Amino acid sequence: MPVDADRLHQVVESLLKGDKSLNEKDVKAAAGKQLKVRPEEIGAGAIREVRRKLGIDRPAALAWARAHLAKAPTTEARVVIEAVAEKFGIRLGPPDVTRLRPQEARRPRKNGRKKAGRAKVLKPEVVDAAPKKGRGKAAAAEPVVVAGPVKGEVSVTFQGRGTPEDLARFFLSLSKKPR
């Protein structure tokens, strides 16, 4: 049995005014119960049209969030997500909010990764192991020595930069006894 378009629009509008966060599947199920038809008989286009008419469609929500972030670019993602959910009933995730921020307001990634294709090639560098003078406690960067499970065994942790040959030469010099 075909569904009357005007009646369907009224039912969908009343459902969405009651709860904006209903997704398309839930709206179809609820409207199907009210109209006494199967949910498959209700077209998604009618639901999207009513959402657009009420101003709770995803493009409008994204445009609002983009405009909000343009005014206050340092707003936390959580605050923006909650505001969009309350106003539009649309669920956004943190990646969506990051993409909507102005480019200059985006923070660098915390894990240190760069975007693909922009990897900087590091060149080896030889670093003197001698501490630098005039830097106080920061200059006293000596290797940390931790006693191992067997008496007389020592474990050393050291961070160094340079070519593998230079680093190997440095570590071999540590193993030789002073004369």
What percent of the chain is modeled with pLDDT above 90?
A: 2
Query: Average model confidence (pLDDT) for the chain?
Result: 75
Residues 142, 174: Cα–Cα separation, whole Å: 13
pLDDT of the residue at 133: 61
Place 142 in a pLDDT band, splitting at 50, 70 and 90. low
Q: How confident is the model over 8-48, as pLDDT tens digits?
A: 888 988 988 888 777 788 888 999 998 888 888 888 888 88
pLDDT of the residue at 175: 76
Helix ranges (DSSP H) in the chain: 5-18, 24-35, 44-54, 58-71, 77-88, 94-100, 164-175
Going from N- to C-terminal start, the domains of the chain cover 5-54, 58-105, 136-175
Place 130 in a pLDDT band, splitting at 50, 70 and 90. low
Q: How confident is the model over 87-121, as pLDDT tens digits?
A: 887 788 877 788 788 877 776 666 666 665 555 55
Place 147 in a pLDDT band, splitting at 50, 70 and 90. very low
Residues 129, 135: Cα–Cα separation, whole Å: 15
Nearest-CA neighbor of 2 among 50, 33, 42?
42
pLDDT of the residue at 148: 46
**177 has pLDDT over 60:** yes
Q: Tell me the whole-structure pTM to 2 decimals.
A: 0.45
